[in-house]
Amino acid sequence: AKTFNILVLPGDGIGPEIMAEAVKVLKVFETPERKFELRQELIGGCSIDAHGKPVTEEVKQAALDSDAVLFAAVGGPKWDNQRRGLDGPEGGLLQIRKAMDIYANLRPCCSTSPSASITKEFSPFKHEVIEGVDFVVVRENCGGAYFGRKVEEATYGDDGRMGLFRSRDPTSYTSIRRSGTAAQPPWPVISLDKANVLASSRLWRRVVDKTMAAEYPQVKLVHQLADSASLILATNPRSLNGVILADNTFGDMISDQAGSIVGTLGVLPSASLNGLPGDKTLKTRPYGLYEPTHGSAPTIAGQNIANPVAMILCVALMFRYSLSMEDEAQRVEDAVRKVLDSGIRTSDLGGKAGTKEVGDAIVSAL
Amino acid sequence: AKTFNILVLPGDGIGPEIMAEAVKVLKVFETPERKFELRQELIGGCSIDAHGKPVTEEVKQAALDSDAVLFAAVGGPKWDNQRRGLDGPEGGLLQIRKAMDIYANLRPCCSTSPSASITKEFSPFKHEVIEGVDFVVVRENCGGAYFGRKVEEATYGDDGRMGLFRSRDPTSYTSIRRSGTAAQPPWPVISLDKANVLASSRLWRRVVDKTMAAEYPQVKLVHQLADSASLILATNPRSLNGVILADNTFGDMISDQAGSIVGTLGVLPSASLNGLPGDKTLKTRPYGLYEPTHGSAPTIAGQNIANPVAMILCVALMFRYSLSMEDEAQRVEDAVRKVLDSGIRTSDLGGKAGTKEVGDAIVSAL
Ligand SMILES: CC(C)[C@H](C(=O)O)[C@@H](O)C(=O)O
Ligand SMILES: CC(C)[C@H](C(=O)O)[C@@H](O)C(=O)O
């Protein structure tokens, strides 16, 4: 029997509730031939409370030893105005991204996923604007302004450069380079930067150019200024169909904005991987961390009203990218679609169901 | 008779054509008591061709000596892949912003401006989503990652800090502080940052907090993470009604995205001021540079098809903010609305009129 080791990190706020539903769904797929060994640990605020830091070395090691990590959400007012950055609750997430070297954050965005009925109701856009939208944002996740080592406040990088772009440091260079391998022909790659202003963006552009020319000469590569891209994403998103590649900061902005296509973060999962699906240089299936795109929603925590769908769809992404279980991934997505279309929804989606009822309904549909 | 000195910078691409229409409109307001002394100079690519740099010291001085600057657009493929950043065509704009110390970039965004009929047709959003949207983005324009002095490529700031946030440099600190004075009660101020990750954002937040508490204690101040803000702007933009305050980089992204509310950049002007309207510390009316939010559109240059509306609305903003001519500002805006509603539009707005015809129609309407 094959055993997958899954690290489960519920975190703070609504994290534990929605994770419980995801674990229920995961268990449906246990068979005599396939076991899931779950290890649950603290991250974020609850880890600060217990250990004085948002993630311990032990948990980082557990992540490295696992086949995949399920992460829910971190943070809350309790820890605001205390330590922030790498030492705050969100620092737990940043540190584990870095420790796992999961440099590629993928956010699929498709106007019919998870369910056309959800997009129709919740998208702020006119129907004809978003019809047929289908892209993946690939955000560089382990570099850029996010990871300048802090010598003193407001200093980026110990040698005075922004993290990703310390050009004397080959690892950071490699980290951009690898993001350039996202393409799955025939999708075009649309790379965002501000090369007209920022030297860091000019480096980004050169590396993307070189990588794409060397590894995917047949793939169409388009450079798009990041500010224009944020406008295009809101006016003609179909024209960005393909792989949207961006650094940590621009990627953070653009991937949140991408949530507007479907119109509700409550149903949007994401994957952070140590390699891109289809990357020829990768020896194994990419391992990764799977997290909903929404936050810890502390104001509604503990009331059985949080929407577990994004977290449950993380299980599908994990099946797809890390566990070679594509059929099972699709079964989860189909079950979610069926339940949402039938009207069994939490209140954020206009329904009356509780967190547990939605989870149970998805399990029944499976 | 009062004489206003206006520096006219047509720049590249469609710049000269649309500027010609703006100047026509400006001239309508000349009276025996009010003269406009226009001085036209090069900026951007055309200045690189003539002088080897995107803006000369003489032109910077002319800007400082003027009552206001009208700027059209810079850049084009001819100068791509040459020098970029401060030395490229866009560098002309960046340098003049810095020389004039016009630290506050204002982009008004209102769902009925310049004309409800335009928004209705061109906005990608469902009508109910954008009804009643009315905010101003105030972007810090002279600091941040944009102005790190370049010691070598990919180095930010000669002492290794990002421009705006060299905390030992009091001028950069002041530059954020002043942006904190945007509020016109009862509008709330919504300040964007990534204080959960970036030390620079935590400094930004502290300065905004302090300034607002000291100068506008009665104004509601909200801190909003920049990534969430980009999602909110696309899902519930009315909830951002007020003053949206952001640093150079986040402000660049968010103000371009804001163009999606109306749905076409062709009708959106912007102002860059050395002080905010209503700023009590300012001795005179703020002087500033007025520019359309669209670019130089080199592919359609010289064909009499570019839309001159945004450039013409820059004249209205100049009247309002720099020349104490509020009535005249409104007359320009009314004339533009009338012409657009009557269907006299360039092809980007689905019309058949040329650049000159639209300009002439607005002049007649006046
Ligand atoms: C929570 C925060 C550190 C994080 C980020 O900025 O990366 C979040 O916004 C995200 O996009 O995953
Ligand atoms: C042209 C460019 C330098 C400029 C900027 O990034 O500031 C533009 O995008 C803007 O927003 O005015």
A257 inside 8 A of chain B by CB: yes
Residue of B101, B209, B256, B279 marked active site: B256
Q: Report the percentage of chain A scoring pLDDT > 90.
A: 58
Cα–Cα distance between B327 and B316 in angstroms, integer? 10
Distance B87 CA to ligand 2 centre (A): 14
B137 vs A340 pLDDT, higher one? A340
200-219 in chain B: CB under 8 A from chain A: 200, 202-203
Give the model confidence (pLDDT) of B197-229 as tens digits: 777 777 778 777 876 776 667 778 899 999 999
Residue of A24, A60, A98, A194 marked active site: A194
Q: Which of B235, B248, B293 to mutate to test the interface with A (most CBs of A within 10 A)?
A: B235
Question: What is the position in ligand 1's atom list of the atom closest to the CA of A75?
Answer: 1
A155 vs B263 pLDDT, higher one? B263
B162 inside 8 A of chain A by CB: yes
Among the ranges given (A152-161, A240-249, A356-365), the one the predictor scored with the smallest mean pLDDT: A152-161
Residue of A67, A87, A193, A252 marked active site: A252
Give the model confidence (pLDDT) of A80-113 as tens digits: 876 677 889 999 999 999 899 887 888 888 888 8
Please indicate whether residue B327 is annotated as part of the active site.
no
Q: Which residues line ligand 1 (CB under 6 A)?
A: A 90, 93-94, 252; B 196-197, 227
Q: Which of A203, A248, A253, A264 to mutate to test the interface with B (most CBs of B within 10 A)?
A: A253
- Whether B60 shows a pLDDT value over 90: the answer reads yes
What are the distances in angstroms from CA B145 to CA A84, A157, B229? Answer: 21, 14, 20
Question: Who contacts A247 (Cβ-Cβ below 8 Å, separation ≥6)?
Answer: A139, A140, A143, A144, A164, A176, A192, A193, A200, A201, A204
Residue-level length of chain B = 366
What are the distances in angstroms from CA B210 to CA B102, B217, B275? Answer: 22, 10, 18
Phi, then psi, of A283 in degrees rounded to 5: -80, -35
Query: Residue A146: which of B84, B197, B252 has the nearest Cβ?
Result: B197
pLDDT at A187: 72
Q: Which residues in chain A are contacts of B75 at CB distance < 8 A?
A: 196
Cα–Cα distance between B313 and B110 in angstroms, integer? 14
Cα–Cα distance between A243 and A106 in angstroms, integer? 10
Nearest CA in chain A to B152: A199
The pTM (predicted TM-score) of the whole model is: 0.88
Distance A249 CA to ligand 1 centre (A): 10
- pLDDT band for position B321 (cuts 50, 70, 90): confident
Q: Please state which CATH number belongs to domain A1-101+286-366.
A: 3.40.718.10
The amino acid sitting at B341 is D
Cβ neighbour number for residue A194 with a 10 Å cutoff:
27
Question: What is the position in ligand 2's atom list of the atom closest to the CA of B93?
Answer: 3
Give the model confidence (pLDDT) of A301-314 as tens digits: 999 999 999 999 99
- Whether B148 shows a pLDDT value over 60: the answer reads no
Q: Which residues in chain B are contacts of A198 at CB distance < 8 A?
A: 85, 145-146
Cα–Cα distance between A280 and A284 in angstroms, integer? 10
Q: Is A136 helix (H, G, I), strand (E, B) or coil?
A: strand
Q: Is A355 helix (H, G, I), strand (E, B) or coil?
A: helix
pLDDT at A175: 45
Indicate the domain borders of chain B: 1-107+275-366, 124-262
What are the distances in angstroms from CA B93 to CA A350, B98, B155, B321? Answer: 48, 9, 21, 20
**Fold match between domain A1-101+286-366 and domain A124-262:** yes
What are the distances in angstroms from CA A328 to CA A30, A109, A325, A331, B68? Answer: 11, 20, 5, 5, 64
Give the model confidence (pLDDT) of A217-261 as tens digits: 777 889 999 999 999 999 999 999 888 888 888 999 999 999 999
Q: For domain A124-262, is the CATH number 3.40.718.10?
A: yes
Looking at the complex, report in whole angstroms how far the Cα of residue B326 sits from the nearest Cα belonging to chain A.
30
Query: Residue A124: which of B235, B252, B254 has the nearest Cβ?
Result: B235
Q: Do A156 and B160 touch (CB under 8 A)?
A: yes
Q: Which residues in chain B are contacts of A165 at CB distance < 8 A?
A: 154
Distance B143 CA to ligand 2 centre (A): 13
Give the model confidence (pLDDT) of B266-286 as tens digits: 999 999 987 766 555 555 667
- pLDDT band for position B159 (cuts 50, 70, 90): very low
B338 vs A221 pLDDT, higher one? B338
Q: Please state which CATH number belongs to domain B1-107+275-366.
A: 3.40.718.10
pLDDT at B151: 26
A103 vs A152 pLDDT, higher one? A103
A222 inside 8 A of chain B by CB: no
B284 vs A130 pLDDT, higher one? A130
Nearest CA in chain A to B199: A154
